[in-house]
Structure 1
Amino acid sequence: MVAALQSWPQKGKIKTYNEVKKLTCENIGKLFASLEKGPTLDTMKSLYEGVMQGIRAMPLKFPGTAFHHAFQVGSKRHVVEETIRMANIVVFVFRLVSKEVEFQGYKIPKNRKVILWLRYLHMNPETFEDPLCFDPERWNEPMKPVVFMAFGGGVRICAGNMLARMQLVFFLRHLSAGYKWELLNPAAEMPYLPNPRPVDGVEVSISAI
């Protein structure tokens, strides 16, 4: 991660979205499969992106379709959680109703499949005041149960949730301490389907401090 960050100022301008995805893929390949950067990892990355585009494709014809020590510092943890809340990649999760329930006047029968729309959950103004505002201090107070489910929950929680948090902790720590950067297109649009991705790839100018 440090090596990647050190290489970015040499380019002057980068598309952060693409560079961070590349970095994440390289870290996961190294940690889980002992793969170094090269053709094999590049091929796996390309195949993975193709699979994910297929999984999340929506055939609808209407528009729009050191970890322990790092987390002991509360303010850093709050920044990480707020970043994940606002940029949650998983759009929704599927669940099976285990017993009949009633929700807001609707009866949901047992064994009915339901979709939990996570972005709505994390942007609910009844839970998060001014939800479009980046406010790490909102995490100073304990969150109510099941209002934040970026990685699912219970026995089906995402196995990579701690890895994702760990990488984000280290990335933000090194980025904020050693680099100066500026968004080149602060008003860039953000489409959300099939997942959130700024149209300019989060293009920034970056230099070492």
Structure 2
Amino acid sequence: MGKLKLLMQISVDGYVGGPNGDLDWRTWEYDDKLKAFANNLRDGCDAILLGRKMAEVFIPHFEETVNRLQAKNGDKALAEMFAYADRMVSMPKIVFSKTMETIDGKNVFVENGDLVTAIKDLKSKKGKDMIVYGGAGFVSSLIEKGLIDEFNLFVNPVMINKGLRIFDLLDHRQTLSLINATPYECGIAVLTFKLRHEN
């Protein structure tokens, strides 16, 4: 499938969630250019990777959104919301879990094997790239093992002082190359880095 890409919301001071995972600090209203960037990043992938905790929120949220909106003849904003949620539901989702063998949801597959072995196997298959959106614990493990090839950090214009982080498990240096740094009208700046894989 190619590369594993991360899209992660992060505060200026390096947190991806509040102490209880709260997201009230995030900038929710994207401008059109940032929406297009996020959609293009997703559409360049043909699978979403999730940890079990994130899956328990992510999967029902988008399926309920589709069910709620599909019967409505709404405005442009509702149509965009439906299209976004419908794409998330239709994409294959691979959930990594050590405790569950099945998880309810459409296009959901559970992986119980070793994280490194499973992701290397996925990368070796033909297809597009893969994307991961969180959560903090799962992404931390991916970073620790050097499995994320491209980091797309959506830096929100706020400092929250304490909360969840994704780099604390890292116990060795990983070198990155800056691919792009773009500010958007809504206040978010997207920093895109590529991991330099050592030979």
User: TM class, shorter-chain normalised?
Assistant: under 0.3
Bigger proportion of residues as helix:
1
